[in-house]
Amino acid sequence: MILTGKNHDGQPNNLRATNGELHQVDFWCAHAERVVWDTYGDRVSVYEKAKDLLKFGASDDIDTSLELVWNQGGNETLVSSNIITHFASSSGSDTGSMKVEGHTVDGSGNFTFVVQDVTLAGQTKTALTTPLARTSRAYNNTGTDWVGDIYVAEDVTFTAGVPQTASAIHVKVNAGENQTAKAATTFSQNDYFFLTNFYASVGQKTAATVDFYLQVALKDKVFRNQFIYDAASTGGIINYDFRPFVIIPPNSDVRIMALSSANDTSCDAGFNGLLAIKV
């Protein structure tokens, strides 16, 4: 039940009681929850999940063919089983704790979110604690800056800490940075995502216009465009708020692709939103 009250300025507020606790309900959150019920038959709650998400990516080499906005460049080759298994750095100086966020997948194509704490051993190829089917983020969990490029990849040949098969790489942290910048993620079998905002910009390294494509792949389906926007190196940042929210169901992949009018274009892009859990 949603009640309507007034705040201290006399403006109307929607209120909901959850487990005996009264809390304010945003209109667009409530609308998205109702759409999920009507479309998918699931009762969901943003309040119960209590989690938001910002995903951002960057590339200094977007070319005239479509590619993912991420540190590695080119496109990621998605896999259908848990074969993302190893990691390393291009520098022997990089040791200590690294957090890796991703998803495992079962035989029915259902994703489960996993966060693991692993230990870098410089250029030595090291196994993840839990093999993954998706990797969305890796970051430095120590008090010392990383020196080299960090890779999380499949079980291929690593030379001096670098995977020798580009298609086997699933996240990369650029040297001098401490976290991935990958404009892509996956949602588990238990979570809906209400995408609330999209942003993008083009660097001035190359005079160019870039088309950005927000794409979603539902479970066992191909990627489809949900939003297309272009930006120029002479312009500022794009910042677009979705009202109503873009509703992304469980077991979906989301990514931002880019296509430039000139090679070697730098750009960044990202999205944020709210997770809603099935209740």
- The residue-averaged pLDDT of 64-81 equals 98
Mean of the per-residue pLDDT values of the chain: 93
CB 49 within 8 A of CB 159: no
* pLDDT above 50: residue 75: yes
- The residue-averaged pLDDT of 44-55 equals 96
* pLDDT above 80: residue 11: no
- The residue-averaged pLDDT of 185-209 equals 96
Residue 80, amino acid: S
Closest CA to 124 of 172, 159, 174, 99: 159
* pLDDT above 60: residue 15: no
Structure tokens belonging to residue 179: 């976290």
Q: Given pLDDT bands bounded at 50, 70 and 90, which one contains residue 236?
A: confident
Q: Which residue has the tokens 């960044």?
A: 268
For 24-32, the CB contacts below 8 A with 24+ separation are: 28/196, 28/243, 28/244, 28/245, 29/194, 29/245, 29/274, 30/2, 31/244, 31/245, 32/194, 32/244, 32/245, 32/247, 32/276
CB neighbours (10 Å) of residue 178? 16
pLDDT value at residue 205: 87
pLDDT value at residue 141: 98
Least confident segment among 3-12, 154-163, 216-225: 3-12
What is the CATH number that goes with domain 50-70+184-278? 2.60.120.20
How far apart CA 141 and CA 158 sit, in angstroms, is 23
pTM: 0.91
How far apart CA 270 and CA 57 sit, in angstroms, is 6
- Outline which parts of the chain fall under CATH 2.60.120.20: 50-70+184-278
pLDDT value at residue 7: 47
pLDDT value at residue 177: 96
